[in-house]
Amino acid sequence: MTEEGSSIDRTRPSIARVYDYLLGGKDNYAVDRQIGDVFKRDLPGSVAIAFANRAALTRAVRTIAATTGVRQFIDLGSGLPTADNVHQVAQRHAPESRVIYVDTDPQVLVHGRALLEENDRTRVVPVDVRDPEGVRTHPDTLELIDFGRPVAVMFSAILHHVNDEEDPAGIVRHWRDQVPSGSYFFVSHFRSGDNPETAEAEKVLQETFGRGRWRSDQEIAALLDGLEILEPGMVPAPRWRPDPVDDPLNGDAERELTVWERLIVAGLARKP
C-alpha cells in the first residue's frame, strides 16, 4: 500500500467516502456506509442531493469549457473520482484544459497519484481548502495554472462544510482577488428549507463530522459578494441549466422537485 494509503483510517467516517457511497461508488468502508445508511434509511429521498449536485457540476464544467475561453480549473474539495470528473468533462470539450483537484482525504490522494500517471494536465494538491493561499502557491498549482489568465474555481458542495467561524466568505473572497477578470466561480451549497428535513440532516452531519451548515438564500448569495451571478441565478441544482438530452428527469421543467432537491442550490458567477 502507498504511504498515503497507510494513513487511511477505516474506523472513522470520511465525508468524501460517505459521498462516494451515496453516489453508488465502491471506495468506502463499513463505517462510511453506516452513516450513509442513516440518510438512505431515516431520511428517504435525501440521496437526491448528491446526484443533483454532481449533475449540476458536470453541466457547469461543460458550460465553461464549451462556451468560454477558460481552460484552467481548480476543483476545491474535489472528493473521490466518479463518472465524468472535472478533467474528463473539460478535456472532452477542450482537450488543452488543465485541472487542479484539491483535497486532503488520504483516499482521494491515493486516487490522485494514479490519475497523475495517466493525465499530465491534471494534479491533485493535498492542501486544506481553508488555506486558499496554500493551495494557490503550491508547486503543482503553479506548474499548471497561469494566474494571469482567467480561471474557473469550483466550489462544488464544499462551502457548506466550512463552518461560519472558519470564514467561508473569506475563502471565496481570497480566490476572487487572486484571479483576473473573466474568471468563473461555480458554487453548490446546502440550502436551508426551515423544515424538519434540514434540521435532521444538519444534525447528522454535525454530530458525525463537526461540520455541515445549511445556509439561507441570503447567506449563500453573500458568499459571492463582488461577483456577477449569471442566469438563472442560485437555484435548486436540478433547475440550473437542465439538459433534457443528457438528463431527461432534471430537464423536465414541469416536474415538481422533491423537498430534498430544493435543499441543494447551484449557480455560476463571473468576476467582472
159-191: pLDDT as tens digits? 999 999 999 999 999 999 999 999 999 999 999
DSSP code of 161?
G
Which has the higher per-residue pLDDT, 240 or 49?
Answer: 240
- pLDDT > 70 fraction of the chain, expressed in percent and rounded: 93
Taking Cα atoms as reference points, which of 77, 48, 60, 54 lies closest to residue 263? 48
What pLDDT does residue 116 have?
Answer: 67
Which has the higher per-residue pLDDT, 28 or 134?
Answer: 134
What pLDDT does residue 208 have?
Answer: 85
What pLDDT does residue 1 have?
Answer: 27
Cis ω on the peptide bond leading into residue 232 (within 30° of 0)?
A: yes
Mean predicted confidence (pLDDT) in 37-62: 88
What pLDDT does residue 134 have?
Answer: 98
Mean predicted confidence (pLDDT) in 208-229: 92
Q: Residue 97 — pLDDT band, cuts 50, 70, 90?
A: very high
What pLDDT does residue 154 have?
Answer: 98
Burial 231-241 (b: 16+ CB within 10 A, else e): eeebbbbbbbb
Q: Residue 207 — pLDDT band, cuts 50, 70, 90?
A: confident
Q: What is the pLDDT of residues 242-259, one digit of tens each?
A: 987 656 555 566 678 988
Q: What is the pLDDT of residues 111-161, one digit of tens each?
A: 777 776 788 899 999 999 999 999 999 999 999 999 999 999 999 999 999
What pLDDT does residue 248 have?
Answer: 57
What pLDDT does residue 253 have?
Answer: 61
Q: For the chain, list the domains and their CATH numbers.
A: 3-270 (3.40.50.150)
Is a pLDDT exceeding 50 seen at residue 216?
yes
Q: What is the pLDDT of residues 220-239, one digit of tens each?
A: 999 999 999 999 999 999 99
Q: What is the pTM of this model?
A: 0.87
What pLDDT does residue 80 have?
Answer: 74
Alpha helices by DSSP H, listed for the chain, are 3-6, 15-22, 30-42, 48-67, 86-93, 106-118, 132-136, 139-144, 168-178, 196-209, 217-223
How far CA 168 is from CA of 3, 35, 159, 191, 251, in Å, comes to 31, 25, 6, 15, 31
| The residue to which cell 433534457 is assigned | 244
